Amino acid sequence: MNNATAVNNKNWRITIIALATVFVLAIGGTVFYGTVVVPQQEKARNVAACKTFEVGYQNAKFAFINEMIQKKHTPNPLTAIQKYMDKLFLGSIHAAKDLPYESDLGKAMIDLNVSKLTFDGSSNEAANQSFRAYDDQAKNIQSICYGLGVKPQATTGK
C-alpha cells in the first residue's frame, strides 16, 4: 500500500465516522424531542385548558346559585340549569380550542359539549337527569385536571 492510498482510506474512515455521528445525533435529537419536549408541550396545553375550564365551571356554578337565590323573581330551576349549562359550555369551548381532540381531556370536553346539545328539558325529571349527567361530565374533566395538578377553585361571581 502506498502513502496516497493510506491517506485516502483514512479520509474515508473519517467521513464515515462523521456521517455516522451526525446520523446518531439526529436520531438522538428526534427521540429526545419526542419523549421530552412534546410531552412537556402537551402538558402545558392541557394545564392551560384546565385553568380556563375551571374558570368556566366556577362561573357556571355561580350562575346556577345566583338564579336559585334570586329575590327579584321566583327562581326557576330550568332557567338555573340553562344558565349553568351555557356558562359551562362557553368555558369548555374556550378551554378546548387548543387541545388535540384525541387526548383524554379533548375527548372529555367534546363529550361534555355534545351532551349539552342533547339536553332534554321536556320535563323536570328529564331536565334533572340531563343536568346530573352534564355535571358528572364536568366533574370528570375536573378530575382529569386535578391529575394534571390544577386544583378546583372556589366559586366566584363573574
- pLDDT, tens only, 26-45: 898 888 888 888 788 888 88
How large is the angle between the packed helices 77-96 and 124-147, nearest 10 degrees? 30
Domain count, the chain: 1
140 inside domain: yes
17 inside domain: no
Half-sphere exposure of 106 (CA within 13 A, CB side): 10
Show the domain range for 130: 47-147
Confidence band, pLDDT 50/70/90 cuts, at residue 154:
low
130 inside domain: yes
Confirm if 134 and 116 have CB atoms less than 8 A apart. yes
Candidates 115, 42, 108; CA nearest to 81 is 115
13 inside domain: no
134 inside domain: yes
Instruction: State the alpha helices, DSSP H only, in 1-158.
Output: 3-32, 38-68, 77-96, 104-117, 124-147
Grid cell for residue 12: 474515508
When pLDDT is averaged across residues 112-133 and rounded to a whole number, the result is 86
133 inside domain: yes
Q: For position 89, which CATH number holds? A: 1.20.120
Give the whole-angstrom CA distance, residue 19 versus residue 62.
Answer: 63
Instruction: State the alpha helices, DSSP H only, in 97-155.
Output: 104-117, 124-147
Grid cell for residue 34: 419526542
Grid cell for residue 2: 502506498
Q: What pTM was estimated for this model as a whole?
A: 0.77
